[in-house]
Chains A and B, each alone.
Chain A
Amino acid sequence: MYAERTDELDYTGAPAPVRQDLVEAQRFLLNHLRSPGTWWTGAERVAIAWESRRATSCGLCRERKASLSPAMGRHEGVPPLPATIVDAVHRIRTDPARLSKSWFDGVIAEGLDVGRYVELVGVTTLTAGLDAFARAFGIAPFAIPPPRPGEPSRHRPESAKPEGAWVPMIAPEGAVGPEADLYGGGFVPNIMRALSLVPDEVRALRLSSSAHYVPVEQIPDPTVRRALTRPQMEFVAARVSALNECFY
């Protein structure tokens, strides 16, 4: 089930060489996924990552996405996570366009702490990104490494407050003390603040975005590009977001 090693990524069959910063970022992200987090243990985070991956072959998720209104039922498999957590992971992974404030309120009302929810979002989505890269690239999904032992830090930043999103966030001026490194300088888009109730998920998202797209602080600069031209990059990004029906 789990990979035995975590310091090597398997690019067998890769149709092109992968730049080193991307390899290092993906290695970091896999180790991040398996490490004790802020509210979940390493084993729980690995279970969430597996559930994120497994959601893509879930019959209920397929049925639900194809229906006009959300279908009820049980997700396939026998996961080690509670059913409400599994359902949240599956919805975020397979049908994010239909998430709503009322759905979120229901998840929290069922007893899931909002900090645990934010961390779950981080793990679920980072797994989705790694899997999307592998599928696009034509290689097998990266092996999810075994969990690291240890306890969650349970660090809740005092400066996280309601700011118009469903979840509390840290404003740029509130990123002080242990969170001083969180945003870097310049414009801080809401997408980089979204997970700030769990600062380590912001750090992982920043690293992921820097390697897979461009560094956050360079996003507003239209001259920043990679081997694709910047218009090509934005074209692909916009198409992904259109297919995902994401307004943001």
Chain B
Amino acid sequence: MSGKAVELGAVTGQVAGDGGIEHGARLIAFTDAVLGSDDGRLAREREALRAVITPEAFVDTCALIGAFNVVDRVADATGIPLDAMLYEGSQDVRDELGLARFRSAANTPGAS
């Protein structure tokens, strides 16, 4: 998207570090804490993230986490298949991330 190499393994937790994304490790740690249940860890990761990004970027991060907690559940609860256009262009990424192991892959013919 930016022309930079992005380490996809950082998304799945297979690779530590920023994954080629500015403050990637902090963003991942914060996201993990929000979706986890340890409030103390969340408070620490929130402060750690806020120390390296702008207040506006912090708001956007929180908003994104909210948005995709909606989208993921809508997709899984309605059984929609991945759009053909996106499916055709994402084989390499899906393979690298191992997305076929997710149960909802069964909603897309040929994906699981």
Kindly state whether residue B16 has any CB partner on chain A within 8 Å.
no
* B65–A247 CB distance below 8 A: no
B57 touches A247 (CB 8 A): no
A189 and B86 form a contact (CB under 8 A): yes
Give the interface size class of chain A.
35 or more
Contact of A16 among B2, B12, B58 (CB under 8 A): B58
Given A222-B1, A231-B1, A130 and B66 touching (CB < 8 A)?
A: yes
Residues in chain A near residue B12, CB distance under 8 A: 242
CA distance A130 to B73 in the complex (A): 13
A132 CA to B30 CA, complexed, in Å: 12
A7 to B72 alpha-carbon distance, docked (Å): 29
Quick check: is A6 within 8 A (CB to CB) of the other chain?
Answer: no
Q: Which of A96, A137, A169, A226 contacts B76 (CB 8 A)?
A: A96
A205→B70 contact, CB < 8 A: yes
| A:159-173 near B, CB below 8 Å | 164-167, 169
Q: Would A235 and B24 count as touching, CB distance under 8 A?
A: yes
Chain A residues within 8 Å of B23, by CB = 232
Determine which of B27, B55, B85 lies in contact with A15 in the assembled complex, contact meaning CB atoms within 8 Å.
B55
| A83 touches B (CB below 8 Å) | no
Q: Is the CB of B34 within 8 A of A239?
A: no
Give complex CA distance A164, B22 in Å.
Answer: 38
Judge whether A31 is part of the interface by a CB distance below 8 angstroms: no
A241 and B78 contacting across the interface, CB-CB below 8 Å: no
Beyond A125-B73, A244-B68, 18 extra complex contacts between A and B, CB < 8 Å: A15-B46, A16-B50, A99-B77, A121-B77, A133-B63, A137-B59, A194-B80, A195-B78, A229-B22, A235-B10, A235-B19, A237-B64, A239-B27, A239-B31, A240-B72, A244-B72, A246-B76, A246-B102
12 contacts between A and B (CB under 8 A): A17-B59, A92-B73, A100-B106, A121-B77, A125-B69, A129-B66, A133-B66, A166-B78, A167-B78, A213-B68, A243-B31, A248-B72
Chain B interface (Cβ within 8 Å of chain A)? 1-2, 4, 6, 10-13, 19, 21-24, 27-28, 30-32, 34-35, 42-43, 46, 50, 53-83, 85-86, 97, 99-100, 102-109, 111
